[in-house]
Structure 1
Amino acid sequence: MIYRAAEKTMETERLLLRPFTEADAPEVSVLCNNYAIYKSTLNVPYPYTIDCALSWIATHQQNFEENRLYEWAITDKLSGQLYGAIGLSNQQPHQRGEIAYWIGEHYWGNGYGTEATQAIIAFAFQEKKYHRVYAQYFQSNPASGKIMEKCGMHYEGTLKQHVYKNGAFEDIVYYGLINPNH
């Protein structure tokens, strides 16, 4: 992973993680206006309009500058195609952060989530000097857990019936990783 602080970008073998711009809003709306994305994420609304995308993107720069939350567009390094999003919270008093991501359904199964998550873990440990990162997923979305496992994260527990969504309670599964250099 190559991090360029001035541009707030990260480069991996196939991906460029970069800040979102307003110009991304139409594509974000198309990718997120998908029931499969909605049902497997905690905070993505459905339907997902361009206004939703614009409102969300409008928060990114200030959150980044104030070290609250870092969010990137997951894009193809060569074509610039937008595949999804990934973010990392900054819980500095505890030297930890939560990783969250979504990939557009058309791009599932290509390893983009795994590659982006590996870059975010490197960013968290090398650039931000976090002691720990963690992530959570709905038990009904085991593919998200596979990404966490492929990135070296470890199962830490399940919160039974922790979230109420779509008229049913969902179990939330937690994975985490301690910085090996701490």
Structure 2
Amino acid sequence: MLRPYRPGDLPDLVAAVRESHVSIGRWMAWAHADFSTSDGAAWLDHCARGWQSGTAFEFGIFDRDTGAFIGAGGLNSLHPVHPFCNLGYWVRSACQGQGAASAAVRALSRHAFERLKLARVEIVVADGNAASLAVARRCGAHYEGLLRQRIRGTDGSAWDAHMFSLTAA
């Protein structure tokens, strides 16, 4: 289940990032062993500002039955002129491989098409991130190619990335 973050999600967010820093920190520089309550609070504040301004729509992923925090996904980098955005996701280590990311991608893309009226959603995956590549493929995203030096890697250098897209029509 996806829902916007609430202030009470802070402890679970911090615990999930710390638990998962080995698996997701390779791809996301912010996910490190020392991720603090202050880091998490800054993220929740950033997310709230994105919702208020309509520039980003970040969600927590929660277990439908227990309400446990599983990970996060969002729609960001909304283009100011053309109807597309970026879709990103991560799942805490203990819940990886159980379909949460795929379910989140499907729900997020529906939100982009039905609520935001976008025509295109892009999923940009670092070269070598096999788990995220598999999620994009499982969700039926169209593979558009390998883009050279497309993203800033966790080491600060430019990394190649795979571009996938989902479209409304």
Q: Residue 81 of structure 2: SS of its match in structure 1?
A: helix
Deviation digits for residues 51-104 of structure 1, max 9, x if unmatched?
A: 111110012222112110001110011210000000102224111110011100
2:68 is matched with 81
Q: Which runs of 5+ in 1 are unaligned?
A: 1-15
Q: Which runs of 5+ in 2 are unaligned?
A: none
- Tell me how far 1:155 sits from its aligned partner: 1.1
Work out which of the residue numbers 9, 12, 31 in structure 2 matches 1:27.
12
Letter matched to residue 66 of structure 1: S
Contact 1:40 1:140 in 2 (8 A): no
Q: Counterparts of 2:108 and 2:14 in 1: how far apart (Å)?
A: 23
2:49 is matched with 62
- Tell me how far 1:113 sits from its aligned partner: 0.2
1:165 is matched with 154
TM-score w.r.t. the length of structure 2 is: 0.89
Q: CA RMSD in A?
A: 1.8
Q: Counterparts of 1:164 and 1:127 in 2: how far apart (Å)?
A: 31
Q: Counterparts of 1:146 and 1:37 in 2: how far apart (Å)?
A: 15
Q: Counterparts of 2:166 and 2:60 in 1: how far apart (Å)?
A: 23
Change (3 A) 1:70 1:50: same
TM-score w.r.t. the length of structure 1 is: 0.83
Quote the sequence identity (%): 25
2:38 is matched with 51
Q: Residue 77 of structure 1: SS of its match in structure 2?
A: coil
Letter matched to residue 163 of structure 2: Y
What pairs up with 1:1-182 in 2 under 5 angstroms?
A: 16-33=1-18, 34-41=21-28, 43-46=29-32, 47-89=34-76, 90-162=78-150, 163-166=152-155, 170-180=159-169
Contact 1:25 1:53 in 2 (8 A): yes
Q: Counterparts of 1:63 and 1:175 in 2: how far apart (Å)?
A: 24
Contact 1:32 1:44 in 2 (8 A): no
Figure out how many residues of one structure are paired with residues of the other and give that number.
164
Instruction: Give the 4+ runs in structure 1 shifted more than 2 A.
Output: 159-171
Q: Residue 123 of structure 1: SS of its match in structure 2?
A: helix
Of residues 164-173 and 74-83 in structure 1, the stretch that sits farther from structure 2 once superposed is 164-173
Q: Residue 122 of structure 2: SS of its match in structure 1?
A: strand
- Tell me how far 1:161 sits from its aligned partner: 4.4
Q: Counterparts of 1:78 and 1:109 in 2: how far apart (Å)?
A: 18
